[in-house]
Structure 1
Amino acid sequence: MRTSLIGIGLGACLTALTLGSATQALAEATSAQRAACTPDVWRLCAGEIPSIPGITACLRREKPKLSPACREVMNEADRPRIARPVASNERKS
């Protein structure tokens, strides 16, 4: 039972760290992004499971030790997002 709870917590944590803000990331993380960081979470940050902020902080702190794939995910998460204008249904006169 404990193993399955850890797995569920790990999946949620990895989802949250992949794209920057936890709430946006929970909806947008891909399985490839989670797969890229799962081994690093177990290797470097297992003591932080199931704390999403703890795992995220740990991975950022341990960035030099991350695998190349997880480092790329973290670099992408740390890049500033450019807001795009929302299209309007109004017609110009």
Structure 2
Amino acid sequence: MAMQKKIPLRKCVATGEMLPKKEMIRVVRSKEGELFVDLTGKKSGRGAYVSKSEDAIEIARKKKVLDKQLEVKVPDEIYEELVRTVRREQLKS
């Protein structure tokens, strides 16, 4: 009997849902305080996951959950990049 590969789950900071890591986008704050969208999910730094949905991103923006999680003010550019990423993914599928 083949072992089923364990799917890594992460919690969306906006919706609180536990979802497979690949259905989420990671936002990272590096030690230097730089913020970026980490599409590989492997960059070092403090990370927070948000679901790949515009609704979740909007909730995160309104409630400033990423600010709290990453302990830094998250600029609009980051949210815009998240939305662009989600839209690109939707075009692919």
Q: State TM-score, norm by structure 2.
A: 0.33
Pick the structure with more helix per residue: 1
Q: State TM-score, norm by structure 1.
A: 0.33
Bigger radius of gyration: 1
Between 1 and 2, higher relative CO (CA 8 Å, sep ≥ 6) is seen in 1
